[in-house]
Amino acid sequence: MRNSKNVSKYLIGKGTFSQLATLLADRQEGYHVYLIDIFFESKNLNLPKRNEDVLFFVDTAHEPTTSYINELRDQIFAKKTNLPTAIIGVGGGVTLDTAKAVSNLLTNGGQAEEYQGWDLVKKAGIYKIGIPTISGTGAEASRTCVMTNYKTGLKLGMNSEFTIYDQLILDHELTQTVPRNQYFYTGMDTYIHSFESLAGRHRHALSDAFSIQSIELSRQIFDSADMMTEENREKMMVASYLGGASLANSFVGVVHPFSAGLSVVLGTHHCIANCITMRAMEEFYPKEYKEFWKMAEKQKVTIPEGICRNLNAEQYQKLYDSTVIHQVPLKNALGENFKEILTLEKVTEVFKKM
Amino acid sequence: MRNSKNVSKYLIGKGTFSQLATLLADRQEGYHVYLIDIFFESKNLNLPKRNEDVLFFVDTAHEPTTSYINELRDQIFAKKTNLPTAIIGVGGGVTLDTAKAVSNLLTNGGQAEEYQGWDLVKKAGIYKIGIPTISGTGAEASRTCVMTNYKTGLKLGMNSEFTIYDQLILDHELTQTVPRNQYFYTGMDTYIHSFESLAGRHRHALSDAFSIQSIELSRQIFDSADMMTEENREKMMVASYLGGASLANSFVGVVHPFSAGLSVVLGTHHCIANCITMRAMEEFYPKEYKEFWKMAEKQKVTIPEGICRNLNAEQYQKLYDSTVIHQVPLKNALGENFKEILTLEKVTEVFKKM
């Protein structure tokens, strides 16, 4: 039985971002590393950054790679000879995961790819603060940080209790400027991984409670007239946190493996890939399929269609391979013999439905 | 805005109690202090207690007093010259609160009464593990430990982030032997403080989510044929944890102040006092009143009646004083001018309804 770790502390509510300076007050010695979503490059975030601090804008056009994490470490050590006293990640899932990975790598040494897996991180990372500016991935609360190693093809995070944030700031003022489609795609990540978890064979009483509440909040948000009201953005912060907290002790199902296939083969980003996958999920999750499309329609969101209809045999084989490789969630959803259900023919048919 | 702290780690599920030895494995130096609910005095809990460890059975006939906490500290120092490396509390709310208070007092020095209030504890306490054997108070997840100081009449805990447990074991096998009435009284504590919190003026998005889910689980448990099935006892562990986590950022309402009045004047224990108070709560919480009594009937639970019907004027005055002293929850429930609603006459009438 796994010992579950919670995020240590959190500030929640409108305007809490302004408390960042206070949180750093007793870490004034040494320097801080800011990892900021490139979305904010031209905006004034009013960061409490001092001259000695180091700031990187995180390019979110691509999901984090192990070589990118190593490179950030190298860039920090090109400027500094000692370790920072805090790392602050401000952004979406990519940025939050990047901050977690850099924090672990700085104290543990070696290369990022050495920590891809379960409980390979041996030491606590640098004290880290996570500040989401878009909600849904649950990266702020989860015990992993997804990274792709292009040398080995492995897409796997540093799954460790040390990966969990020491401090969160959940300020829904920061999500005001998110584009509407992106808000929906990302928000739906928590709805999707929560229903996958609840439909799976693996049970965990507390994760179940978190997932149920995350879905309930998602319904309130996306079944309302406007998913982006202030009240809904605050609820979305909570839904995302609960979904992430749930994930630490539960497993996803059919959606995420297919979605990962899209990401690996076609380079589709995680959250939009989930939504595209939902086009083909009626037979696996009939109730949620109906609900998802009702919500997408209500929020007038555009979800790409037909991106897998005219691929060649080699591409379908690659999609198949990069889907069925996710044995843990597929066993959770479909049982030990999931490959009898998910044949190459079946998987191809599912991708064509998207 | 308050920075909220979570319980650091938790193990949840049937049989997790057997992992206690593993949790203590890297704290083998020094001695451990076990604080065990006296209910288990004649039972074999199979504790990993070593010869050098110190064990006290906690008398749960009375709720913790500051002098009792001081006395436990004195008894530990009568046997040992150094500090323990772990404190393990196994029991209900009284025992869990006692372990928290002793942990803080040992490292902070002075007397327990010096820490009654908000954020008066200055140093982290001894590493502490909480293991509930009855669910509902939320003591396992809350940031306080209620204590009465009979010299000053003050009933107030050490409300501090340091009061929060480092580790929980939530094993519903431990709640198998709880007497049915007690299971209901205690279980209802989380239902009651959750609906009080949601009905109040103060809002906190995450606490709201926890409260809603705690109520939902309470409904599933107490509206079922048998509240004490294995599944329901597991759900009750979760409901209690969520209720306690909610309380850290929210306030109770009308029930708890009246219930506290009963405790102070008539010595009624907290959880049964809440249930007795519910007899008179129809006008304040009509929906929950109806639901509460439906659940009590369904579970065939006996709740005392008429305990405040034939008291004298002095006793009613005392009940009034010890109810309206709870300004924070009463303002949360009824507004700044709550004393215009809760006159002596009105409060007396409410107590007579019980």
Do residues B188 and B312 both lie within one domain? Answer: yes
Which of A205, A208, A237 is nearest residue B205 as measured by Cβ atoms? A237
Which of A3, A10, A213 is nearest residue B209 as measured by Cβ atoms? A213
Query: Per the CB < 8 Å rule, is A209 touching B205?
Result: no
Do residues A240 and A125 both lie within one domain? Answer: no
Query: Per the CB < 8 Å rule, is B1 touching A15?
Result: yes
Do residues B166 and B215 both lie within one domain? Answer: no
Query: Per the CB < 8 Å rule, is A9 touching B9?
Result: no
Query: Per the CB < 8 Å rule, is B9 touching A4?
Result: yes
Judging contacts by C-beta atoms under 8 Å, the chain A residues touching residue B6 are 6-10
Do residues B210 and B119 both lie within one domain? Answer: no
The Cα–Cα gap between A185 and A263 comes to 14
Q: Is residue A314 part of a domain?
A: yes
Answer yes or no: is pLDDT of B1 > 80: no
Q: Which token pair is B47?
A: 């504790």
The Cα–Cα gap between B173 and A139 comes to 33
pLDDT digits (tens, 9 = 90+) for B294-326: 999 999 999 999 999 999 999 999 999 999 999
Do residues A116 and A185 both lie within one domain? Answer: no
HEC per residue, chain A: CCCEECCCEEEECCCHHHHHHHHCHHHCCCCEEEEEEHHHCCCCCCCCCCCCCEEEEECCCCCCEHHHHHHHHHHHHHHCCCCCCEEEEEECHHHHHHHHHHHHHHHHCCCHHHHCEECCCCCCCCCEEEEECCCCCCCCCCCCCCCEECCCCEECCEECHHHCCCEEEECHHHHCCCCHHHHHHHHHHHHHHHHHHHHCCCCCHHHHHHHHHHHHHHHHHHCCCCCCCHHHHHHHHHHHHHHHHHHCCCCCCCHHHHHHHHHHHHCCCHHHHHHHHHHHCCCCCHHHHHHHHHHHHHCCCCCCCCCCCCCCHHHHHHHHHHHHCCHHHHHHHHCCCHHHHCCHHHHHHHHHHC
Last residue of a domain, one of A129, A144, A177: A177
Which of B19, B170, B209 is nearest residue A217 as measured by Cβ atoms? B209
The Cα–Cα gap between A42 and B327 comes to 48
Distance from CA of B66 to the nearest CA of A (A): 29
| Minimum Cα–Cα distance from A218: chain B residue | B209
Instruction: Spell out the per-residue pLDDT of chain A, length 354, in tens.
Output: 789 999 999 999 999 999 999 999 999 999 999 999 999 999 989 999 999 999 999 999 888 999 999 999 999 999 999 999 999 999 999 999 999 999 999 999 999 999 999 999 999 999 999 999 999 999 999 999 999 998 987 888 999 999 999 999 999 999 999 999 999 999 999 999 999 999 999 999 999 999 999 999 999 999 999 999 999 999 999 999 999 999 988 999 999 999 999 998 999 999 999 999 999 999 999 999 999 999 999 999 999 999 999 999 999 999 999 999 999 999 999 999 999 999 999 999 999 999
pLDDT digits (tens, 9 = 90+) for A15-27: 999 999 999 999 9
Do residues B186 and B296 both lie within one domain? Answer: yes
Domain range for B226 is 181-352
Distance from CA of A200 to the nearest CA of B (A): 17
Q: Side chain identity at B202, as an amino acid letter?
A: H
pLDDT digits (tens, 9 = 90+) for A23-41: 999 999 999 999 999 999 9
Do residues B234 and B343 both lie within one domain? Answer: yes
The Cα–Cα gap between A304 and B333 comes to 49
Query: Per the CB < 8 Å rule, is A1 touching B9?
Result: no
Do residues B115 and B26 both lie within one domain? Answer: yes
Do residues B122 and B205 both lie within one domain? Answer: no
Query: Per the CB < 8 Å rule, is A12 touching B205?
Result: yes
Count of domains observed in chain A:
2
Can you give the CATH number for the domain in which A217 is found? 1.20.1090.10
Would you list the DSSP string of B66-86? Answer: HHHHHHHHHHHHHH-SS--SE
Query: Per the CB < 8 Å rule, is B1 touching A8?
Result: no
Last residue of a domain, one of A150, A177, A204: A177
Do residues A232 and A335 both lie within one domain? Answer: yes
Say how many CA atoms lie within 13 Å of B149 toward its Cβ: 14
Distance from CA of B77 to the nearest CA of A (A): 32
Closest residue by Cα to residue A253 from A327, A186, A307: A327
Last residue of a domain, one of B145, B177, B209: B177
